[in-house]
Amino acid sequence: MSRTNRPRRQPLADAPEGATRRGRIGREGFLFDAAGGPDYWNAMSDACAAVPMRWVGPIRFAGPEVEGEIEIPLATYESPLWPSVARGARATAAAGGLRAVVIDDRMARSILLEAPDAVTAARVLSSVLGRRDDVAGAVAATSSHASLLDLHGQVCGNLLFLRIEIATGDAAGHNMATKAADAVMGRLLADHPALRHVSVSGNYCCDKKVSAVNGILGRGKNVVADVVLPADACGRFLRATPAAIAALNVRKNLVGSILAGSVRSANAHHANMLLAFYLATGQDAANIVEGSQGVTHAEAREEGLYFSVTLPNLVVGTVGSGKDLPFVRENLRRLGVLEPRAPGANARRLAILAAGAVLCGELSLLAAQTNPGELMRAHLKLERRAPPRTR
């Protein structure tokens, strides 16, 4: 958008103390609009990290929640990613499309409290788990979109960890979960005077860190995408056989990951597609840490190649922080995730589209690695081209 078409700067009457007419707050450099919220328009004109983005595909989705051919935006500096995902998209389209399903959907925050001793901590945990309705009421009071799904607790010494899992509608839900956790903590401190506040986040969440707990209990959207490719489609589009891809997946993604000590993760490069998709759609990019903890599974069958990606921790949303940036808004609109649907349906659709991009990119890379030298030749061809001449 040209500078002449941007909205005029608004006065900063409601911005936090210290904001100037240009919207800066001291050394932090934050920008605020008239309502005190992030001023994305001015931020984009003053400082913007430009990451190249292209629309890739279309990827053909064959249900059950998403159907049709849909192009996917990917923002990355790794330019070979675009043609690689596109190759996977062509292969899966030849098979009639990929299917994807959301297994689970929740956001979690774990509060941390200190008790005088382990007996007290255990007694409080038992009491809380037996009064779920009270906790649900505290959660629901914080937002019309928040509802309690489950509680899990751990006692370590005199420390009490309580993991609160909630539904968050179309938001990724970080702030919603934290607000709910604050309310629950306040209730517990009032009901149990012997407890002391330690932190609203006790790392049993576990946010933006590698862990086993999120894959087991759930944090974000748990999505599985799969496809069955006929053998001729593998040869035509991927220059590989089902047997070669399946064998490489076992030796590289499974055995190699075990030797590396990977945690609930057995894949070639889920993070590549997820980061590119997150940046293009206004997601919190740091969530690729848990998002990339996925599993790629492949089988050589009579009818061809069965190929799937399981992504248990996709933290994505279509509303919330960052989603009002003009380019993000346009990308979300083109993806069809700003439509009037039931709460949470747009975010589920977005997670399915992300899983589709991951499957296509993962399939293409594994196929390339079955052929000696193919991966390096592609990178040299696409990344080492001479820059255009300038006068």
Indicate the Cα dihedral angle 269, 271, 277, 282, nearest 10°: -170
Residues 269, 158: one domain?
no
Residues 349, 227: one domain?
yes
Q: In angstroms, rounded to a whole number, what is the distance separating the alpha carbons of residues 101 and 219?
A: 16
Structural contact between residues 269 and 256, judged by C-beta atoms closer than 8 angstroms: no
Residues 229, 337: one domain?
yes
Q: In angstroms, rounded to a whole number, what is the distance separating the alpha carbons of residues 222 and 333?
A: 23
The pLDDT of residue 381 is: 76
Nearest-5° Cα angle at 268, 266 to 273:
115
Would you call the peptide bond into 312 cis, given omega within 30 degrees of 0 as the criterion? no
Is residue 180, in this structure, part of any structural domain at all?
yes
The pLDDT of residue 380 is: 74
Query: What tokens does 19 get?
Result: 């904001």
For 47, the 3-state DSSP assignment is coil
**What is the domain extent for residue 232?**
53-104+220-383
CATH number of residue 241's parent domain: 3.90.770.10
* Look-up of token digits 């399981």: 310
Q: In angstroms, rounded to a whole number, what is the distance separating the alpha carbons of residues 130 and 96?
A: 49
The pLDDT of residue 14 is: 37
Residues 263, 342: one domain?
yes
Q: In angstroms, rounded to a whole number, what is the distance separating the alpha carbons of residues 138 and 378?
A: 55
Q: In angstroms, rounded to a whole number, what is the distance separating the alpha carbons of residues 368 and 377?
A: 10
The pLDDT of residue 21 is: 38
Is residue 300, in this structure, part of any structural domain at all?
yes
The pLDDT of residue 321 is: 83
Residues 140, 167: one domain?
yes
> How many domains does the chain contain in total?
2
Q: What are phi and psi of 313, to 5 degrees?
A: -135, 60
The pLDDT of residue 38 is: 55
Q: Based on the number of CB atoms within 10 Å of its own CB, is 17 exposed (0-12), middle (13-18) or buried (19 or more)?
A: exposed
Residues 82, 125: one domain?
no
Domain boundary among 148, 168, 199: 199
| Long-range contacts from 283-287, C-beta under 8 angstroms, 24+ separation | 283/172, 283/315, 283/316, 283/317, 283/322, 284/172, 284/174, 284/208, 284/315, 284/321, 284/322, 286/208, 287/172, 287/208, 287/220, 287/313, 287/315
H or E element, residue 54: strand 53-64
Q: What are phi and psi of 140, to 5 degrees?
A: -65, -30
H-type helices in the chain, by residue range?
40-46, 81-94, 118-129, 132-140, 174-191, 213-217, 231-233, 242-248, 257-260, 270-280, 288-291, 326-334, 345-369, 374-383
Provide the whole-model pTM: 0.86
Q: Which residues pair with 19 in a beta bridge?
A: 25
Is residue 83, in this structure, part of any structural domain at all?
yes
Active site residues: 78, 208, 284, 379
* Look-up of token digits 């400082």: 47
Domain boundary among 199, 231, 263: 199
The pLDDT of residue 373 is: 77
Residues 95, 229: one domain?
yes
Residues 112, 59: one domain?
no
Domain boundary among 199, 230, 255: 199
Q: Based on the number of CB atoms within 10 Å of its own CB, is 389 exposed (0-12), middle (13-18) or buried (19 or more)?
A: exposed
Is residue 351, in this structure, part of any structural domain at all?
yes
Residues 160, 257: one domain?
no
Is residue 372, in this structure, part of any structural domain at all?
yes
The pLDDT of residue 5 is: 43
Q: Based on the number of CB atoms within 10 Å of its own CB, is 65 exposed (0-12), middle (13-18) or buried (19 or more)?
A: middle
Is residue 353, in this structure, part of any structural domain at all?
yes
Residues 228, 110: one domain?
no
Tens digits of residue pLDDT in 269-300 = 999 999 999 999 999 999 999 999 999 999 99
Q: Which ranges of the chain have pLDDT less than 70?
A: 1-47, 384-391
The pLDDT of residue 267 is: 97
Q: Based on the number of CB atoms within 10 Å of its own CB, is 327 exposed (0-12), middle (13-18) or buried (19 or more)?
A: middle
CATH number of residue 141's parent domain: 3.30.70.420
Structural contact between residues 165 and 124, judged by C-beta atoms closer than 8 angstroms: no
Residues 162, 279: one domain?
no
Is residue 69, in this structure, part of any structural domain at all?
yes
CA distances from 102 to 229, 264, 275, 343 (A): 22, 18, 20, 15
Structural contact between residues 258 and 111, judged by C-beta atoms closer than 8 angstroms: no
Structural contact between residues 109 and 181, judged by C-beta atoms closer than 8 angstroms: yes
Is residue 111, in this structure, part of any structural domain at all?
yes
Residues 190, 256: one domain?
no
**Identity of the amino acid at 264:** R
